[in-house]
Amino acid sequence: MSCAILWFRNDLRLGDHPALRAVLDRAPDQILFVYIWEPSEAAPWEPGAASRVWLHHSLLALSQSIEKKGGRLLLRRGPSLSTLRNLAQEHGASYVAWTRCYEPALVLRDTAIKASLESERLTVETFNGSLIAEPWEVKTTTGGPYQVYTPFSRAVFKLRERRDVLPEPRILPPAPREATSLQLEELKLLPRISWHREIEASWTPGEAGARRNLTEFVRNAVSDYEATRNFPALESGTSRLSPHLRFGEISPNMVRARVEEALREPNVGHSLGYEVFLKEIVWREFAYHLLFHFPQTTTKPLRPKFERFPWKDDPERLKLWQKGETGYPIVDAGMRQLWRTGWMHNRVRMIVASFLVKDLLVSWQDGARWFWDTLVDADLASNTLGWQWTAGCGADAAPYFRVFNPITQGEKFDPSGDYIRRWVPELSKLTSHVHHPWKSSVYTGGYPQQIVDHSEARDEALEAFARL
């Protein structure tokens, strides 16, 4: 009786899954669908607390989907190599497939695992199921990696080969009866205290939730995306697909295909929203391109001179920023939304990041670590790109003299103050002065004072950047 292994990682879905399709094409009698929990293998960037909450529910959804089609998901603890080797030996599997990862530690690990399994006469195949283009497929005219987004995006859009979206299989082969699995609760992904309840109430992890988000966004919002994406009070202004993409509950290939399909539908005129949204998908591609070619950037700036930047070691102000108690309403609203829901609007991410590195002069690495632990969509590539962009030390970085004014940013992108009032209840009764409550005659207090004067902090930051 033939047996094969499909190793799930950041690809927790059944639709548009090249590795799954390859396993099924070999027509095995049995398939070992396995997820291996061994976070230390991804050190120092093992999954953060919010990501683990999402992973718990995503694995539950995947397990249910596999069971409905006749298969069974096996949950194991690592190390990954010995787990895969033991599964193959115990059940006579001769073929192993998985979707490639691109995080530096995982690239090294997977390369070693593949070589070791092949030395034991197992057939091992790996596939791209996470990106539109592999990091090594997009090259500059000199054959090197890109460091600027615009020419990179042009190169991606010019790629001729477009992989068709693979259908979800109707049935799946069973797992061997004797194959054992841990219970999901034994992975201990959920926290002991109940801070995660609002995260669970705000999201629907799993492939079905991802597809529903995509369908609703394409049907109702993508055409206006260019006009609405920067306003955090508009919940439908963004796709909210980032955590689904992070865990591979939907593929960027499927997202691209669905948007392009919508553009071909009757009575759909040209809209800049479709184009801008697809470019955002390519920003994610750019992040992975950079991470693969410059793996040191998870902890070090891409531009070496920034290693000399005089960041401040200021645990007290860092804590106030983390808690959303800076005295700047748009900053505090974003940080509180992050803590309660595991997510923050992208425009607000830029504002709070700029405030940390340019108003407080606290290092981008401190910000990246906090986001990593608190975001349900914590993605090493995107997290690294975003923070280095804000700090001015990475690829295609914001110029050092670009310092967001948190008050004017709030006035511009949350003009009615609805977003601020939702997440900062101390200001819920303010209207015209919600962005600067200290000016209101009816403000009764309870909201913290500004921890820095923005004008003075901006001057200090510009001086430090100019010296560098």
137, 216, 275, 280: the catalytic one is 280
**Letter string b/e over residues 209-225, b meaning 16 or more CB atoms within 10 A of that residue's CB:** bbbebbeebbeebbbeb
364, 370, 389, 423: the catalytic one is 364
54, 339, 387, 423: the catalytic one is 387
E strand map for 100-156: 123-127
Amino acid at 43: A
What is the enclosing helix (H) or strand (E) of 89?
helix 80-91
Residue 351 contacts residue 269 (beta carbons within 8 Å): no
CA 258/CA 254 separation, integer angstroms: 6
Residue 189 contacts residue 58 (beta carbons within 8 Å): no
Backbone φ, ψ for residue 37 (5° rounding): -95, 110
- Cα angle, residue 80 at apex, residues 79 and 82 outer, rounded to 5°: 75
Residues 6+ apart with CB under 8 A from 361: 310, 311, 312, 314, 457, 460, 461, 464
Whether 339 is catalytic? no
Whether 283 is catalytic? yes
92: phi > 0 → left, psi -120 to 50 → alpha, else beta; which? left
90, 125, 137, 283: the catalytic one is 283
Whether 103 is catalytic? no
**Letter string b/e over residues 172-198, b meaning 16 or more CB atoms within 10 A of that residue's CB:** bbebbeebebeebeebebbeeeeebee
What is the enclosing helix (H) or strand (E) of 245?
helix 242-246
Q: How many CA atoms lie within 13 A of 329 on its CB side?
A: 30
What single string gives the DSSP state of each residue in 425-455?
GGGTT-STTTTSGGG-SS----SPPPSS-HH
200, 216, 275, 311: the catalytic one is 311
What's the Cα-to-Cα distance from 453 to each of 127, 355, 360, 458, rounded to whole Å? 51, 11, 10, 9
Nearest by Cα to 331 from 341, 342, 345, 316? 345
- Cα angle, residue 199 at apex, residues 194 and 205 outer, rounded to 5°: 120
Length of the chain: 468
The separation between the first and the last C-alpha atoms of the chain, rounded to the nearest angstrom, is: 66
Q: Which residues are marked as active site?
A: 280, 283, 311, 346, 364, 387
